Structure 1
Amino acid sequence: MPPDTALADRYPVLAALPPAVRDAALARLQTLRVPAGTVLFDDRQACEGFPFVLRGSIRVIKASASGRELPLYRVAPGETCVISSSCLLGHEDYNARGIAETDTELVLLPKAVFDELLAEPAFRGFVFHLFAERIADLMQLIEEVAFHKLDQRLAALLLGKGRVLHTTHQHLADELGSVREIVSRLLKGFAAQGLVKLSREQIEIVDAAGLRRVAAG
């Protein structure tokens, strides 16, 4: 599928732009293809443009000086990054880190073009609708971190991934913004209660009802 066709399919807002405006914007897009694990942006970096993800996904996190990470959200095809939008609108540097979770293809709308497209109601509405959705997600994350204990959050995370999870304790810790040692201890506790069965890079849900009780507090 040609990149311009993929872009139009993923981001229908582009079809709502006046043809001349759309064609001028498409002509100035920059295509990026990066392998999994690539840091696409980081704290205190200047924001160079507005990303449209065609394939793969970007994991956006807040990292501490000690190396701990708090996952904020993911950007999948058809979505875009509210932190990039915020930095472009406020003329600020990034205040988070974006990492390609998988091999990822995206196109970057340069800052100057982003500024021009904000004059178009369809694009402006798209950007602010994105803000509303992401802020709701981040408010939910704040509520979970502030008011739910880690064992509740871990139980809820396990329940959302199927009966058998092929994952590592470190990956779950990253998802929760915690550290591997604490997550491993909680998982061993769940196993001792008969809620899960642990094996190498695999977790089997044995008692889903019991996990739901833990998640509910």
Structure 2
Amino acid sequence: MSTLTPGDELAALYPVLAGLPDAARRRLGNHARRITVPAGTALFDERQACQGFPFVLAGSIRVIKAAPSGRELPLYRVAPGETCIISSACLLGHAAYNARGVTETDTTLLLLPDTDFQSLLAEPAFRDFVFQLFSERIADLMQLIEEVAFRKLDQRLAALLLGKGQRLHTTHQQLADELGSVREIVSRLLKGFAEQGLVALSREQIEIRDAAGLRRVAAG
């Protein structure tokens, strides 16, 4: 963990920073901490205090909501150039996390402490960036709620398969995690797809055989 002065890499990923006054950019550079963690690291968990505002430079973070039963519902991913609205909400509301964030790949980020985040909110460019992010993420979450509430799991699974290319290198558990379901149900649905000639199944691999048929399933 070390202090990093934001350079070309950070400015290219977060152009909003170029609109900040010199003093604000210097404060960010002096106080933000550079953190690099391996894939599978839990960056935050429910009921933990928020440690700061993250700028992701490389890698990705998967934000999920976990049930007591162990089932998980993916909420969104944070890629380079984006940030985490749950972290923002916790800082704005002085509240603990209500979800979990886990790195999907080796991830590097800059973590801006709470006091510096609050100071940057006084800058219109940064404040607009934060609230634009809220708007985009809320739209994504509303779509997720609609899918979970109104679309059958076989429709959601078919749509998920269509978005990953002709040959998928994945496990049934990984698909279940993305759908917020359990492996046994996803495996049963995949077997049904295979019996209909829509897909071919092999170890950690799924081949799309009938994309048009899957689109019909996805459409209901």
Amino acid of the structure 1 residue aligned with 2:110? V
Match of 1:18 in 2: 21
CA-CA distance at 1:3 after TM superposition:
5.8
CA-CA distance at 1:51 after TM superposition:
0.3
* Counterpart Cα distance in 2 of 1:71 and 1:122: 30
| Matched residues, number | 216
Alignment of 1:103-182 (within 5 A): 103-182=106-185
Match of 2:98 in 1: 95
* Counterpart Cα distance in 2 of 1:168 and 1:131: 32
Amino acid of the structure 2 residue aligned with 1:84? S
* Counterpart Cα distance in 2 of 1:42 and 1:32: 17
* Counterpart Cα distance in 2 of 1:4 and 1:34: 20
**Root-mean-square deviation over aligned CA pairs:** 0.9
Amino acid of the structure 1 residue aligned with 2:143? Q
Matched position secondary structure for 1:31: strand
> Which structure 1 residue ranges, 5 or more long, are not aligned?
none
Matched position secondary structure for 1:66: coil
Equivalent residues of 2:6, 2:29 under 8 A apart: no
Amino acid of the structure 1 residue aligned with 2:107? T
Match of 1:192 in 2: 195
Is residue 82 from structure 1 mapped to residue 71 from structure 2 by the alignment?
A: no
Alignment of 1:30-45 (within 5 A): 30-45=33-48
Amino acid of the structure 1 residue aligned with 2:49? A
CA-CA distance at 1:9 after TM superposition:
1.1
CA-CA distance at 1:119 after TM superposition:
0.4
Superposed structure 1 runs of 4+ greater than 4 Å apart: none
Matched position secondary structure for 1:27: helix
Superposition TM-score, scaled by structure 1 size: 0.98
Say if 1:140 and 1:26 are closer, same or farther in 2 by CA, change over 3 A: same
* Counterpart Cα distance in 2 of 1:149 and 1:207: 20
CA-CA distance at 1:21 after TM superposition:
1.4
> Which structure 2 residue ranges, 5 or more long, are not aligned?
none
Deviation per residue, 1:177-199 (Å, 9 max, x gap):
00000000000000000000000
Match of 2:219 in 1: 216
Equivalent residues of 2:61, 2:78 under 8 A apart: yes
Matched position secondary structure for 2:206: strand
Matched position secondary structure for 1:102: coil
CA-CA distance at 1:7 after TM superposition:
1.1
* Counterpart Cα distance in 2 of 1:24 and 1:138: 33
Matched position secondary structure for 1:33: strand
* Counterpart Cα distance in 1 of 2:101 and 2:67: 14
